[in-house]
Chain A
C-alpha cells in the first residue's frame, strides 16, 4: 500500500452523516434547534482551537483559527443565553427586553469570524493562492453586498430593532452587514479551493464556503418570510453543521499527515520506493 492509498483508506466518510444527524436533531423543536446549533458551535470552537495550536505563534493561520474558535464560542454563549430565556418561557424579546442583548455576542461572533477568514486568506496568499480573483468572483461578492440594504430595511420591524437598549437597536442593523463579510469571503475561499485542486484542505474550504453562503441565504429567507420566524431554521442548522464538517475535514488532514510522518519514520526508504524513488550512488 502506497502512502497515497493509505491516505485515501483513512478517509472515514463521516461528513454527510454528521450533518444529517445534527440537522435531524435540530428540526425537532425550538429547544432541539438551539441544542443542535449549540453542539455544532462548541465542537467547532474546540476543533478550531485545536487546529490553531498546530501553527506557530505569530502565524496568520494560527490567528485565523483562533478567531474562528472565538467566533464559534461566542455564538455558543449567545445560544446558551437564548436557551435560558426559552426555559423561562420568554421567547419574544418584546416581552423580555433583556433577550435583545443577544445581539452583542451575535455581532462579536461575526466580527471574529470575518477577521479570522481574512487572516486565513492572507495566509493562503503567502503561498501564492487566492491572489487573483475572477470577474465572476467579484460579481458574486457585489451581489452579496447588494442583498444587504433590503435585508437591513426589512429588519426594522423586528423586536430587537425596537429594543429599549440603544446598542441592541444599532447592532440589530449591523449584523446583516457583518454577515455579508464572511459570506463574501466564502467566494474567496471557494476560489482558493479550486486553485488547491483536490485534498482535504480544498474539501474543508468548500464546506466552509457552503456554510457561510447558506447562512446568508437563511438570513435573507427569514427576512423575506416574516410570517414564520423559523423559516430559515433548517438552513441555519445545515450551515452550522456544514461549518463543523469543514473543521472535521481540516482536522482529519492533520491526523493523516501525522500518520504519514510516523510511517516515514518507521519505514521511510520503503515508502520512498513506492513513490518511484531509486537510490542513486555517486
Chain B
C-alpha cells in the first residue's frame, strides 16, 4: 500500500485522519478508485476503526458506570496541598522518587531485580513512608541507611558501601 503505489506513509495516515490537503486528497482518492487492493485495505482499516471505537466507548462507559466523588476528592486534594511543604522543597519529593529508582537501577544487575525491588520496598517501609508520597528530603539519609543495612545483611559490606556512596552522591547532586 505504501512505497510502490507512489504515496508516502504519512499521506495515507493523513488521508485516514482527514487532515490531508484537498489537492493531495483528490489525487489519492483517484488512486483508490483505480486500485482495488488499496481500496480494500482502506475499507478494512475503516471497519476496524469503527469497531474499535465502539468497543472503546462501551469500555469507558462501563468503567464510569459508578460516579466519581469529585467533591470529596477535591477537598482531600486541597488538604494535601495545604499540608504539603513549600513548593521548592515539595518538588524535591519527586526528585527523591527518581533517586530511589536510580538506586534500584544500580542494585538491579548486582542483586537481581527481585531482590532490589524487595529491598527498596522494605527500606521505604522501615523509613515510614510510601515511596512516592512521603519520602521527604529529611528522610533520604534514613532511607539510604535502611536500604544499605537491608542489602548489606544479605550481600555484604561492599553492597552496603555502594548504596551509601550512591545515596550520598545523589543527595549532593540535589543540594
Contacts and interface: CB of A to CB of B under 8 A. Distances in A.
Contacts of A277: 98-99, 102, 170, 173
Interface stretch (A104-112, A198-206, A218-226): A198-206
A127 B166 contact: no
Nearest to B175: A282
Contacts of A8: 109
Contact of A261 (B122, B153, B154, B161): B161
Interface in B133-168: 150-159, 161-162, 165-166
A143 interface: no
Contacts of A154: none
A123 B153 contact: yes
Q: How big is the B interface, by class?
A: 35 or more
B38 interface: no
Contacts of B92: 282
B113 A127 contact: no
A279 B98 CA distance: 11
Contacts of B173: 269, 272, 277, 279
B118 interface: yes
A61 B153 contact: yes
B153 A196 contact: no
Given A127-B150, A264-B166, A277-B173, A253 B110 contact: yes
A256 B158 CA distance: 9
B106 interface: yes
A275 B158 contact: no
B44 interface: no
B128 interface: no
A275 B152 CA distance: 22
Contact of B102 (A195, A272, A279): A272
A4 interface: yes
A199 B169 contact: no
Q: From DSSP, what is the main secondary structure of chain A's interface residues?
A: helix
A7 B109 contact: yes
Given A197-B114, A277-B102, A282 B158 contact: no
Contacts of A166: none
Contacts of A197: 112-115
B119 interface: yes
Contacts of B158: 54, 254, 257-258, 261
A3 interface: yes
Given A56-B152, A61-B156, A129-B118, A257 B169 contact: no
Interface of B: 88-89, 91-92, 95, 98-99, 102, 105-106, 108-115, 118-119, 121-122, 150-159, 161-162, 165-166, 169-170, 173-174
Given A54-B156, A260-B106, A272-B170, 17 more contacts: A3-B106, A54-B158, A56-B152, A56-B157, A123-B154, A126-B153, A196-B111, A196-B114, A197-B115, A201-B154, A254-B156, A254-B158, A258-B161, A264-B169, A275-B106, A280-B95, A282-B89
